[in-house]
Amino acid sequence: MRSFEYLSPTAKEQAIGLLGNNWDSEVLAGGTDLLALMKDDVVTPKRLVNIKHVTGMDPITHTSKGLRIGALAKLQDIADNADVQRHFSTLAVVVDEAASPQIRHMATMGGNLCQRPRCWYFRNGYGLLATKDGKSLVTDGDNRYHAILGNDGPAKFVSPSTIAPMLIALGAKVRLQGPNGPRELDLEKFYVVPQNDGEREHDLKPNEIVTEIFVPTMAAATRTGYYEVRQKAAFDWPLATASVVLQMDGNVVKSARVVMGHVAPKPWVSQEAADALVGKPLSESTADAAGKAAVGGARPLSRNAYKVQLARVAVKRALMNTAGHSLMSSDVTKGGA
């Protein structure tokens, strides 16, 4: 690991003042991702700003307006929080499955949302867009776990957070703070697809920090669901996930949000899947149609076409979970139930 300057402020304003206008400085929270990147010489900050001791950034509070989660709140504390379990039960499940117990007791919500891609080209020092001599290493290389949607540009990695898609489906907002004060944006807009090596995958300036996430109260007659496809039942990075939030009128879908994870360089909001649901009764056939619509625009790479089927099934099963149904495993391997 390269040498660096280490500073540990106790106030947000102090922390922000220690960050520069380029990426020579990095923010340390839980450290479960950043320290590994530094050890592997992928990220080489000259200054590390430890915000673990910044006050007022870890509360988890619930009011009639919604849920506020401080960026320094530990994942395990969020999953165990009584208000989260009572009012956002699916979110509690997603957070509880986001990592191993050891990681959940260290990792923070802000860190999870800001974690860097797991692309092995990026992790081996080839850059975020994984190019060499102007050519993509991913396109003709080992792209088994790369994007099947939103990959028509130079970015082929997949957004790594399993929590972000659920939060986006719930309409969450993220609050950032920099030298010019706070700003708030929809979490969906926090994720961007870089077009060149000078860009990052988050709408976060070098001198800003994530301070809080806000999840609005769900309206009455709202159903939520989640499904994740892994290679193994033990903790592993997902191959595809789906998070859904439905506003119901009886058994008819009044509005829908379908957000897929691990299939694109950002959490992928599928308007096509939502359109396939609205105005229709929630049933297995409707869920299947929505799953097919969700991957209708997929453009798999040379070695990851299998992910199209997995993503389709993830959407279908997440929808069926909202209705209290369970499906047979034949969905994944045989193309439908």
Q: Name all domains of the chain by residue range, CATH numbers in brackets.
A: 222-334 (3.30.390.50)
Angle at 149 between CA 130 and CA 23, to 5 degrees: 40
pLDDT at 337 over 50: no
Q: Measuring CA to CA, how many Å separate 215 from each of 61, 172, 313, 319, 332?
A: 11, 4, 27, 21, 32
Mean model confidence pLDDT for the chain: 94
Q: Judge contact between 331 and 247, C-beta under 8 A.
A: no
This prediction has a pTM of 0.95
pLDDT per position as a tens digit, 6-34: 999 999 999 999 999 999 999 999 999 99
Better-scored residue on pLDDT, 235 or 96: 96
% the chain with pLDDT above 70: 96
Mean pLDDT value across residues 212-225? 97
pLDDT at 165 over 70: yes
Could you tell me the pLDDT band of residue 325, with boundaries at 50, 70 and 90? low
Q: How far apart, in whole angstroms, are the C-alpha atoms of residue 267 and residue 163?
A: 10
Mean pLDDT value across residues 258-280? 98
pLDDT at 234: 75
Better-scored residue on pLDDT, 99 or 71: 71
pLDDT at 336: 38
pLDDT at 68: 98
Could you tell me the pLDDT band of residue 328, with boundaries at 50, 70 and 90? very low
pLDDT per position as a tens digit, 58-69: 999 999 999 999
pLDDT at 42 over 80: yes
Query: Which two structure tokens, joined as six digits, stand for 16?
Result: 């922000």
pLDDT at 330: 43
pLDDT per position as a tens digit, 291-319: 999 999 999 999 999 999 999 999 999 99
Mean pLDDT value across residues 156-180? 98
pLDDT per position as a tens digit, 120-153: 999 999 999 999 998 999 999 999 999 999 999 9
pLDDT at 327: 41
pLDDT at 267: 98
pLDDT at 135: 93
Amino acid identity at 153: G
Could you tell me the pLDDT band of residue 332, with boundaries at 50, 70 and 90? very low
Which ranges of the chain does DSSP label H, i.e. alpha helix?
A: 12-18, 34-39, 75-80, 82-87, 89-96, 101-104, 109-114, 120-123, 164-169, 187-190, 271-277, 284-294, 306-322, 330-334
